[in-house]
Amino acid sequence: MRKIVQSFIGGSSVTAGIATNSTGDKYVFPILFKAKVRKVFASVQGTSSNSTAAVIKFDKRPTAGSDTSRGDGDCGTLTKTASTNQQGKFLYAIPTTLVEVNEGDEIVAQVTTADGAANAMWVGIELERIPEEAANNSKMTDLG
């Protein structure tokens, strides 16, 4: 059987990635289908060579909009190398344990350590679909 893998990319606008010079939730990926998280990634836009390394955690949030049972970097953690200009570099992490997500879940990209300089990164996730009938998921409601 052929594996279906899809990537999703997010930023703060159509022309800029997320800012890494402040902490907090930066982007939310809504999950549209049951899947395995295969990879989280970021493409560095800025030229920061700040001595503090930016850290981005990708948290599984099992209930959209709620931090109840939210993970802490369970989908992956990325750390930009401190004191190094990594503009144009592609950073990625593959989860060490299987992380499954379902329709209605979210993956939140959160900067937990700011790099202290004006820097930006496009963030993304790569998911492998798990075939599933919508009727088997209690989070899905048929309105047809």
Domains in the chain: ranges and CATH:
12-133 (2.60.120)
Cα distances from 60 to residues 30, 47, 94, 108, 121, in angstroms, run 10, 29, 14, 7, 20
Give pLDDT tens digits for 87-109: 889 999 999 899 999 988 999 99
Give pLDDT tens digits for 18-33: 888 899 999 999 998 8
Cα distances from 72 to residues 4, 9, 95, 119, 128, in angstroms, run 27, 20, 12, 23, 21
Is the pTM of the predicted complex or chain greater than 0.75?
yes
Question: Which parts of the chain sit beneath pLDDT 70?
Answer: 1-2, 14, 134-137, 139-140, 144
Closest C-alpha among 29, 40, 39, 13 to residue 120: 13
Predicted local confidence at residue 134, as pLDDT: 67
Percent of the chain with pLDDT over 70: 92
Predicted local confidence at residue 71, as pLDDT: 94
